[in-house]
Amino acid sequence: KISNLLLFARDRKPPMKNVNVHNALKEVIAFSEQIIKKENILLTVNYEDVDPIIAGNAEMLKQVFLNLILNAMQAMPEGGNLYIETRVSDGSYEGGTCGSNVEIRFMDTGCGIPAESIKKIFDPFFTTKGKGAGLGLAIVHNIIDIHGGSIDVENNKGGGAVFNITFPMIITGIRDHESGVRGSRSHASAWEYI
């Protein structure tokens, strides 16, 4: 789509507002939950105790989260597990500055990424799939860059891939205790269970 190609225009700065990362993620999960279940994928979500607020464009952030969920689903055609986790950390990240950051991890139990593809995975029009334009992860990378964040990917030792996004936070909100999203709310990290 032409609209997808417009996301590559680096001088196109979207309107930025305070965005609650958890709320944006919850909306995407609610939207995609039926598809995830249908594909025989078990979703586990762990949220940080505080609601991380970043300067961003909510619709673009939701596009990032949706693309990463769809990518994980495509990597698990026979079903599997998808773990999504948020963490707040202090300190610097690659390309960023000191201060509080929010990390969002997407971990799947799919086939992983061939070693020769990892360095090219965010390049426009690069795909390891038989179909598709190879724009999904390039769009993800560009949106994250527009938001002053970073993304990295690696293969998980137990199989599958791990995408880790980091954004600089501006504030944290009080943790809301809404239910409605399946998954653990404990302090234990999903990262430890893979």
User: Which CATH number fits the domain that encloses residue 27?
Assistant: 3.30.565.10
Reply yes or no on whether the pLDDT at 92 is more than 80: no
pLDDT interval class at 126 (50, 70, 90) = low
Those residues with Cβ within 8 angstroms of residue 4's Cβ, 6 or more apart along the chain or in another chain = 133, 135, 139
The per-residue pLDDT for 194 is 30
Domain count, the chain: 1
pLDDT interval class at 82 (50, 70, 90) = very high
Those residues with Cβ within 8 angstroms of residue 178's Cβ, 6 or more apart along the chain or in another chain = 26
Reply yes or no on whether the pLDDT at 187 is more than 50: no
Listing DSSP states for 27-79 in one string gives HHHHHHHHHHHHTTEEEEEE--SSEEEEEE-HHHHHHHHHHHHHHHHHT-TT-
The per-residue pLDDT for 136 is 76
Reply yes or no on whether the pLDDT at 28 is more than 50: yes
Question: Cα(163)–Cα(81) distance, rounded to whole angstroms?
Answer: 14
C-alpha 131: how far from its chain's center? 22
The token duo for 104 is 């969002």
C-alpha 115: how far from its chain's center? 21
Question: Cα(107)–Cα(10) distance, rounded to whole angstroms?
Answer: 28
pLDDT tens-place string over residues 30-77: 999 999 999 999 999 999 998 999 999 999 999 999 999 999 999 999
The per-residue pLDDT for 180 is 35
| pTM as predicted | 0.79
The per-residue pLDDT for 157 is 86
pLDDT tens-place string over residues 148-182: 999 999 998 888 999 999 999 986 554 444 433 33
Cα–Cα separations (whole angstroms), residue 92 to 21, 131, 150: 19, 38, 11
**Pairwise pLDDT comparison (43 vs 12), residue with the higher score:** 43
Residue span of the structural domain in which 38 resides: 2-9+18-178+185-193
- Cα within 13 Å of Cα(75), Cβ side: 25
Question: Cα(168)–Cα(149) distance, rounded to whole angstroms?
Answer: 7
Tell me the pairing of strands 17-20 and 171-173: unpaired
The per-residue pLDDT for 185 is 29
pLDDT tens-place string over residues 129-148: 655 555 678 899 999 999 99
The per-residue pLDDT for 119 is 84
pLDDT interval class at 1 (50, 70, 90) = very low
Reply yes or no on whether the pLDDT at 4 is more than 80: no
| 8 Å CB contact between 139 and 59 | no
3-state DSSP of 55-67: EECHHHHHHHHHH
pLDDT interval class at 12 (50, 70, 90) = low
